[in-house]
Chains A and B, each alone.
Chain A
Amino acid sequence: MSDLAQSSKLPAVHEDDFDVIPFEEAPYSGRLSIFEILKIAWRSIRANMLRSILTALGVIIGVAAVVALVSVGNGVRQNVTDSFSSFGTNLLTISSGQGGFGPPGLVRGGGSQTLTIEDAEAIVALADDRIEGVAPANQSNNQQVKADANNTTATIVGTWPDYEKVQNAATQAGSYFGSTDVETRKRYAVVGSEVASDLFPDVDPQAVVGQKLKIANVSYDILGVLEEQASAGFNNPNTNIIIPLSTFIQRIERNDYEGKPTVSTIAVKVEDPRDVEGVEADLTTLMANLHEKVSEDDYDFNIRNQANQLESVTAVFSTLTTFLGAIAGISLLVGGIGIMNIMLVSVTERTREIGVRKALGAKPRDILSQFLLEAILLSCVGGLIGILIGIAIGYFSTDALSVPFVLSIPSMVLAFAFSAAVGIFFGFYPAQRAAKLDPVDSLRYE
């Protein structure tokens, strides 16, 4: 009998498998491995699949929103930055009225045009070595343009030949008009690549040179076709038609300021980007003298430099992107509260299971890890799915807005880390509540 009692302490060991270690001699760690806890957590997620998906949905939407919004915001910023840098950082733009910002060439609303051709001539007269080119410009949007049977809508820009180097608008075929052509008000035109292809479909740009087009029933000779340029966000340079400024004032839009013909902007290209600020100061003095303005508050012009402008635009977009990201972050927070809510319900629902597990030897730590890991698993899987959906939304919306698709790795890492943190933070309280349950009470819980 005592022999039997002894033997009962052994597991069934069959004679044919002596190499099997008896249970009593098998090693054990005394603690639950992380893998086992993961398995337990995953099983309970799987057991309530619909509920788990709905719970994770809060996090999915939050993370997707963060990733998508930041990606679209960065895309728009990238687009604006690109168009700014295509003009070069050594460009100064003088325009009428007080400050503000916007891409060059865009006339700010309100206020009359106070810049004159004389202003531009005065700048040229400075004969400053640091200045590479001066291009005063007027423009007229949505002009109907015709060539034979075809017509299109274009933006007519009246300017000087320096426009080519000042605005980085080189020709792919033909050339610009010269300064004598400006003096003699020649009806010459240099057309954007889109104007050329609209008016002369399937015609080689080389063959477009020498053709004629009509603006407001006046015929112009096409001298050149511009290279295709990146869209500047607000206006498309490929639909421009560049004509001599004098011709523009005579034929397209007559305007005066105290009896002198006006221009909306004067673009000045500085040789060396490091001289930009010095030239800007000199031009400010010059313009103030020309316009007889003493105080800065009276200035009827303003000079903007690309670098400053780019900085302020970038800053605005960064703020906007951060702001949008933060709003999306709030939805992530709401998702976290959803997880906490469900975890609390789950703990209550599984009180008896917790009691049984404790009776069988689960330590408070084991129960805590089980529920905490369940919450983290929900939020992390939600986070991963959210990132994928966010990337997809970002991709398609940047495509629709025709801005570059910028994948922001930091925003994805941040969103994922945040969702994991949400899981830990909002999972901790329910998990701790489960861990603290009294085994006696929870075993009796119905």
Chain B
Amino acid sequence: MSELILSLKDIKKAYQMGEEKFLALKGVSFNLYQGEMVALMGPSGSGKSTLMNILGILDNPTEGDYLLRGENVSKLDEFDRAEIRNAYIGFVFQSFHLLPRLNLLENVEVPLTYAGYAPKVRRDRAFDMLEKVGLVDKWRNLPSQISGGQKQRVAVARALAMNPALLLADEPTGNLDTQTGDEIMGLFHVLNDEGVTVLIVTHEPEIAEQTKRSIRLRDGLLESDQKHEQRRPHVASQVSTHYIGSSQ
């Protein structure tokens, strides 16, 4: 069995809606292992976004324990959450969320900057990551000068920069056309093949089909959690497949 990356134990999240208390998550538990590729599915209102925020350590659960690499991260303050997010979570958002005034290289450098790496280390690492997603020759461009698919690849490069425990993608193909979406999924496959653990929040069954495991939420509870066959799209990936790291 691969290494256990994270473990959710009876996670509950309550929101105060006026006078009433609304339970967005009513007790969700599951484990995630190194090298998995998981789809988190569910209709709107199922608690999908809430769970993603908790998984991404953007928010604390009201109750329950969240163990990330064996460390309980469910009761941290904003300072520690920021540190853990920076070190363990790589975010890919639906609308890319690149910083518009920074060029692609600088965008990839942002998490490294907050970690406090020296400029030279940051630059080398960011170039490596851009190379990985096939955009190293455009490093000088601003986000406004590249296509949506390219933006998402830069976002993936940025998410990978800190070598995170979990790549957390929120509807990563939602703002892309089918072909570009498939390209991004292809990139995820390559990364997953290299051992990156990927969790994709999606409402599209076609995306879920491309993962190895689907977790469904309904009304704040786990509806189903099943491993399944992975279907891969047949697109010529632009990802540099020659990327092979040296062994330790």
Contact = CB atoms under 8 A, between A and B. Distances in A.
Given A8-B194, A359-B91, A32 B163 contact: no
Given A12-B131, A440-B59, A365 B194 contact: no
Contacts of A358: 58, 82, 85
Interface stretch (A19-27, A59-67, A262-270, A283-291): A19-27
Given A23-B163, A26-B118, A9 B195 contact: yes
B189 to A, nearest CB: 13
Interface in B58-105: 58-59, 78-79, 82-83, 85-87, 91, 93, 97, 99, 101-102
Interface string B133-158: 00000000000000000000000001
A355 B111 CA distance: 13
Interface string A26-52: 111111110010000001100100000
A13 B247 CA distance: 10
A343 to B, nearest CB: 17
A360 to B, nearest CB: 4
A361 B83 contact: yes
B178 to A, nearest CB: 25
A168 B133 CA distance: 89
Contacts of A21: 121
Given A5-B35, A360-B158, A443 B58 contact: yes
A387 to B, nearest CB: 30
A361 B59 CA distance: 13
B75 to A, nearest CB: 17
A364 B82 CA distance: 8
Contacts of A187: none
Interface in A7-21: 7-13, 15, 20-21
A31 B79 CA distance: 11
Contacts of A26: 117-118, 121, 125
A212 interface: no
Contacts of B99: 353, 356-357
A362 interface: yes
- Most chain A CB atoms below 10 A, which of B111, B113, B121: B113
Interface stretch (B180-188, B228-236, B238-246): B238-246
Contact of A361 (B34, B101, B115, B194): B115
Nearest to B111: A360
B132 interface: yes
B72 to A, nearest CB: 19
B117 A8 contact: no
A363 interface: yes
B68 to A, nearest CB: 14
A21 B91 CA distance: 26
B117 A28 contact: yes
B113 A5 contact: no
Interface of A: 2-13, 15, 20-21, 23-24, 26-33, 36, 43-44, 47, 352-353, 355-366, 439-440, 443
Interface of B: 2, 34-35, 53, 56, 58-59, 78-79, 82-83, 85-87, 91, 93, 97, 99, 101-102, 110-118, 121, 124-125, 128, 131-132, 158, 162-163, 191, 193-196, 243-248
Q: Nearest 5 CB-CB pairs, A to B?
A: A361-B86, A5-B195, A29-B116, A8-B194, A7-B245
8 contacts: A5-B2, A7-B248, A12-B132, A23-B121, A353-B99, A360-B110, A360-B114, A440-B53
